[in-house]
A and B are shown apart, each in its own frame.
Chain A
């Protein structure tokens, strides 16, 4: 619903002069600085760079998990850097989908219930969210595993449940931090294919990755170094 309200090509996300510092005692660590970035609707971008260059920090700023020291972030037309904690939580629930390196499904819930969780939090009626969760699990190829607990699913399957969960509330933006980081080559390839399919179906995606293959599968690669954007180029 949110994705549909934004015309393809219009910016879903606009970051202006982002800076994020961490204070460690007397020292100041600058994790991200001078980053301005615009992501258009339907875009599929990768953020790459050496370890510690600030990729995860940037992604957290873009996803309203973290707040910039200075600078601003605008998502789906909404200024988000100054939202209160409760507002930011609500915003993430409705507008941003997250996939993490460690899948982090709720161990006590079935695959279906894990996907339902954000929808129930958003107040969607039971029957409706059941149906949508089921549909999403079908989409990621796990239609037959709805009842299974995460512990009975392989890593690749768990990550696909996590993708389905991230899509539950039809976010404007899907953010993934090393989505193939814990997967072996084969399941990693499957995950890349799934993300490509999502992108082809119109989802706006930003991934942080070390994975060459994943980066090459995207349309745009943002290279970071020492907290700054060093290069930003389309994938040929």
Chain B
């Protein structure tokens, strides 16, 4: 029973490591593709939202993009920060991430309830914002941008209405966020932000060659860089390679531990039954049949242990995911451990193969003992 548990633990560990090795990449990928935008256009030399750099002449750029027959939809986004006063009088102003979007094509948030940011003064916010500002949907509030400490004044302010509650896909769980129409955020910033955007998301037609479209964008707009999901993934892969190596090493270790455990188990059980094995051989049972029988018993242990390990592995993964999700600055939707059936099958397969291999040697050795000598020793012992 203890043995089963041991094998289960090593199976769980292996599964977790396989999940870790593939999960983060997969979930990032599906996050990037969650709204179907395969391309992101940003100012050259930056990653989206990495800096304050913006694209100018956004409407012209968007129009050119829309004119390309391979492009289905175009969603410009302007990122920034806004400040609001909390409801309870004159506490310090609250700062929040702000996104200017075109609500009909945006791919940044998921509206949970209420109305979308269609009207000029409409504001969609997340739970973290609601909690910190003590506001409710329907409330009006003044948002301000660009506090100038010298002038002790904001560059722009506007009275807005809170119309909806949303979950922002690319933000961390605790991060406050608001979304408003792109034009509103642009005009709040005055001339400096007119017709600007941080990023333009582009969805290519199904079946279109995304890479070709990407190259076309870079050629057409030399001051911008277009990043496809694939290139983004490549960059992510580079950054994650350390993670995957770690997962690979720990996974291998747990596989080896499982292997040694099964070898030990089978060795012990064979040594306990040397007499039984010798008698089987004496009455004419072929060696390979004895080996098969013992290996099958090992496989039976594995069969019992594996579902246990699977359950254990999933539980651990969820627990670790919970811890890691609380990491500041990571999008809420990123999973470090992503359960994929293929990963489960892969670890199951590795486990089964190593289990059988681990069982073969000790059982072969046990079945190859000289029969007469073993019987004699057993009779004395």
Contact = CB atoms under 8 A, between A and B. Distances in A.
Interface of A: 56-57, 60, 63, 65-66, 85-86, 89-94, 96-98, 100-102, 104, 106-107, 117-118, 121-122, 165-166, 169
Nearest to A97: B283
Contacts of A97: 283
B284 A93 contact: yes
B372 interface: yes
B278 to A, nearest CB: 8
Q: Which 3 residue pairs across A and B have the least CB separation, nearest first?
A: A93-B284, A104-B279, A66-B372
21 contacts: A56-B375, A56-B376, A56-B379, A60-B375, A65-B371, A65-B372, A65-B375, A66-B371, A66-B372, A85-B287, A89-B287, A92-B283, A93-B284, A97-B283, A102-B378, A104-B275, A106-B280, A117-B285, A118-B284, A121-B286, A169-B284
B282 interface: yes
Given A118-B285, A121-B285, 6 more contacts: A56-B372, A56-B375, A97-B283, A102-B378, A117-B285, A121-B286
Nearest to A96: B284
B289 interface: yes
Given A93-B283, A98-B282, A60 B276 contact: no
Contacts of A118: 283-285
B44 interface: no
Interface residues of B, number: 19
A7 B375 CA distance: 33
Contacts of A121: 284-286, 289
Contacts of A94: 284
Nearest to A121: B285
Given A60-B372, A101-B379, A102-B379, A65 B282 contact: yes
Contact of A106 (B276, B284, B375, B378): B276
A100 B276 CA distance: 11
A98 B282 CA distance: 8
Contacts of B287: 85-86, 89
B81 interface: no
A97 B283 CA distance: 7
Interface string B251-264: 00000000000000
Q: Chain B binding site: helix, strand, loop or mixed by DSSP?
A: helix
Interface in B56-80: none
A103 to B, nearest CB: 9
B281 interface: yes
Contacts of B371: 60, 65-66
Interface of B: 275-276, 279-287, 289, 370-372, 375-376, 378-379
A143 B151 CA distance: 107
Nearest to B285: A121
Nearest to B276: A104
A107 B279 CA distance: 13
B379 A93 contact: no
A90 B284 contact: yes
A1 B378 CA distance: 33
Contacts of B280: 106
A89 B276 contact: no
A86 B284 contact: no
Nearest to B284: A93
A154 to B, nearest CB: 19
A86 B286 contact: yes
Contacts of B286: 86, 89-90, 121
A90 B379 CA distance: 24
A93 B281 CA distance: 9
Contacts of A101: 379
Which one of B275, B282, B289, B370 has the highest number of Cβ atoms from chain A below 10 Å of its Cβ?
B282
A234 to B, nearest CB: 29
Nearest to A95: B284
Which one of A60, A89, A90, A92 has the highest number of Cβ atoms from chain B below 10 Å of its Cβ?
A89
Given A65-B372, A102-B378, A102-B379, A92 B284 contact: yes
Contacts of A86: 286-287
Contacts of B372: 56-57, 60, 65-66
Nearest to B281: A89
A49 to B, nearest CB: 16
A121 B288 CA distance: 12
B283 A98 contact: yes
Contacts of B285: 89, 93, 117-118, 121
A102 B283 contact: no
Contacts of B276: 104, 106-107
Nearest to A168: B283
A183 B379 CA distance: 14
A57 B280 CA distance: 18
Nearest to A93: B284
Which one of B275, B375, B376 has the highest number of Cβ atoms from chain A below 10 Å of its Cβ?
B375
A118 B379 CA distance: 23
A65 B280 CA distance: 11
Nearest to A166: B283
Given A56-B376, A65-B371, A100 B284 contact: no
A172 B379 CA distance: 26
Nearest to A63: B282
Given A57-B372, A60-B372, A66-B372, A102 B275 contact: yes
A100 B375 contact: yes
A60 B283 CA distance: 12
Nearest to B277: A104
